[in-house]
Amino acid sequence: MKVEFYRHHLGPAEFAAVQEAMTSAFLTTGPKTTEFEKRFGEFLGVKHAVGLTSCTAGLFLALKALGIKEGDEVIVPAMTFIASANVVLQCGATPILIDVEADTGVIDVECVKKALSRRTRAIIPVHLYGLMADMRALHALAESHRVALIEDAAHAVESERDGLKPGQASTAAAFSFYATKNIACGEGGALVTHSADFNDKVRLLRQHGMSKSAAERYHGKYQHWDMLELGYKYNMFDIQAAMLLPQMRTIEANLKRREQISAYYETEFRKAGIAFPVVRAGARSARHMFTIWAPLGKRDSMLQSLQEMQVGVAVNYRAIHLLTYYREKFGFKPGALPNAERIGERTLTIPLYPRLTDAEVEYVAKSVVAAHAK
Ligand SMILES: Cc1ncc(COP(=O)(O)O)c(C=O)c1O
């Protein structure tokens, strides 16, 4: 048997929606994007959603909207995808990379407290694999220190914790619709926020700082537009939105399947003594990825064995402070952020997506147990 690392679940509904969008007047940002923004904001219970070309664009524009610049510091966990920290550097500011919880890989609130300084302007918690960070604690901390909270919710569309969803207790939350995400359109993203001012600012920044979008210019007679500030070009377009809209209807059913598969893996791995990140009580994980923690020193041989058994694998993630660029720029040495490093050396991601059959799930679990026992 061969089990791909990922196969998307797009089908006739998405194909038809894209075809419809292609025959309409708008290939760019138009009515489909507006409809998606409305639907996505409603799903999360957050007032405003802005469609963008990626989650990276969302994080970057959020920092830009806050006016974050050279001399400012932004706190970021070291166990994440590089985008979470790169956007800070792209604004000219300094990412302060900190450690994560040993049993989840999620940002450690105690480490945030130690990292706060006079220069801190924002904290970027990452809801790793779909498990939300402790947003209640982070919200209280951010309020008392008057810093912004920008959630990296790339993995977390369906996540909840302690009664909160991403975007409900922060300045803004950024989502990814990259090819392998729980809802996907190849490349795409969104930013959600309760703040009308923040929403206006991000809308301006996503399209060159122009006072009118193409859709606004299209209606009725030609109207002049103005450039109000220096912006970027990160607007979601209607073909992306068309592909995403039907997925908003299947999101809960797909999450159920992810939960079933995860529960099966957890039972089998517990029996075999294989470690994996815990989901905290009071949390609903979006179950974006399933990673196991191999015994120290054995991860790469397990990767090899699993590939020989035709099971698709990946590593999410190696701790980013030890990647060449960050190590050289900031002079990090191994041992600086021990939990992130330990997870980074042990983590191994296995297939988790709604289209997996029961037979495939059983084969993956059996293969992982066999590779672990080698
Ligand atoms: C945790 C995390 N943050 C940010 C991103 C960036 O998302 P995008 O590719 O949509 O820019 C990713 C993408 O994989 C991610 O996993």
What type of residue sits at position 67?
A: G
| Three-state DSSP class for residue 25 | coil
Mutate to test the pocket of ligand 1, among 5, 50, 53, 55 (most ligand atoms within 8 A of CB): 55
What average pLDDT does the segment 100-128 reach? 98
What secondary structure does DSSP assign to 99-133, as a single string?
-B-TTT-SB-HHHHHHH--TTEEEE--B-GGGPPP
Tell which atom from ligand 1 comes closest to the C-alpha of 180: 14
Confidence tier at 325 by pLDDT (50, 70, 90)? very high
Pick the closest to residue 234 from 265, 201, 208 (CA basis).
Answer: 208
CB 149 within 8 A of CB 122: yes
Percent of the chain with pLDDT over 70: 99
Q: Report the pLDDT value the prediction gives residue 26, as an integer from 0 to 100.
A: 83
Q: Report the pLDDT value the prediction gives residue 334, as an integer from 0 to 100.
A: 96
2 an active-site residue? no
C-alpha of residue 356 to centroid of ligand 1, in Å: 23
**Distances 285 to 3, 6, 50, 159, 262 between C-alpha atoms, Å:** 24, 19, 23, 5, 10
- Per residue in 347-367, pLDDT (tens digit) is 999 999 999 999 999 999 999
Q: Among 32, 64, 165, 181, which one carries the catalytic annotation?
A: 181
What average pLDDT does the segment 165-187 reach? 98
- Per residue in 36-55, pLDDT (tens digit) is 999 999 999 999 999 999 99
Q: Which strands make up the sheet holding 120-123, listed edge to edge? A: 48-52, 189-193, 172-176, 148-152, 120-123, 73-77, 94-98
C-alpha of residue 56 to centroid of ligand 1, in Å: 6
Alpha-carbon gap, residue 239 to 47, rounded angstroms: 23
Average pLDDT of the residues of the chain: 97
Q: Which CATH architecture has domain 12-245?
A: 3-Layer(aba) Sandwich (3.40)
- Given CA atoms 360, 362, 366, 372 in this order, what sign does their dihedral have? positive
Mutate to test the pocket of ligand 1, among 52, 56, 59 (most ligand atoms within 8 A of CB): 56
**Per-domain boundaries in the chain:** 12-245, 250-373
C-alpha of residue 110 to centroid of ligand 1, in Å: 25
What average pLDDT does the segment 263-270 reach? 98
Q: Report the pLDDT value the prediction gives residue 292, as an integer from 0 to 100.
A: 98
Asked if pLDDT for residue 213 goes beyond 80, the answer is no
- Per residue in 329-344, pLDDT (tens digit) is 999 999 999 999 999 9
Instruction: Give nearest CA residue, ligand 1 atom 7.
Output: 55
- Given CA atoms 103, 155, 137, 260 in this order, what sign does their dihedral have? negative
Confidence tier at 31 by pLDDT (50, 70, 90)? very high
Is the preceding peptide bond at 6 cis, omega within 30 degrees of 0?
no
- Per residue in 50-76, pLDDT (tens digit) is 999 999 999 999 999 999 999 999 999
What average pLDDT does the segment 135-141 reach? 98
Q: Report the pLDDT value the prediction gives residue 273, as an integer from 0 to 100.
A: 98
- Per residue in 272-304, pLDDT (tens digit) is 999 999 999 999 999 999 999 999 999 999 999
Q: Report the pLDDT value the prediction gives residue 223, as an integer from 0 to 100.
A: 83
- Per residue in 222-249, pLDDT (tens digit) is 888 999 999 999 999 999 999 999 999 9
Asked if pLDDT for residue 152 goes beyond 90, the answer is yes
| Three-state DSSP class for residue 284 | strand
Alpha-carbon gap, residue 364 to 4, rounded angstroms: 10
250-373: what CATH class? alpha beta
CB 1 within 8 A of CB 226: no
Q: Report the pLDDT value the prediction gives residue 202, as an integer from 0 to 100.
A: 97
C-alpha of residue 175 to centroid of ligand 1, in Å: 8
Asked if pLDDT for residue 215 goes beyond 80, the answer is no
C-alpha of residue 59 to centroid of ligand 1, in Å: 10
Tell which atom from ligand 1 comes closest to the C-alpha of 188: 10
Pocket of ligand 1 (CB under 6 A): 54-56, 80-81, 83-84, 126, 152, 154-155, 176, 178, 189
The alpha helices in the chain, defined as continuous H runs, are 12-23, 31-44, 55-65, 83-90, 109-115, 135-145, 196-205, 214-218, 238-272, 299-308, 324-330, 338-346, 358-373
